[in-house]
Amino acid sequence: MNNEELDLETPLRDEVERHIRKLIKPLKDEEELRAVLKVKLTKKEFKVLNCWANGEELKPLLEKLSLDEKRYKELSSKLIKKLNQEKLKQEMMV
**How do residues 66-85 score in pLDDT, each as one tens digit?**
999 999 999 999 999 999 99
**Measured between alpha carbons, how far is 49 from 61 in angstroms, rounded to an integer?**
11
Phi, psi at 77, each rounded to 5°: -70, -35
For residues 15 and 74, the answer to whether their CB atoms sit within 8 Å is no
**Residue 28 CB contacts under 8 Å (≥ 6 apart), including other chains:** 13, 36, 92, 93, 94
Q: How far apart are the first and last CA of the chain?
A: 22
pLDDT digits (tens, 9 = 90+) for 45-65: 999 999 999 999 999 999 999
pTM higher than the cut 0.75: yes
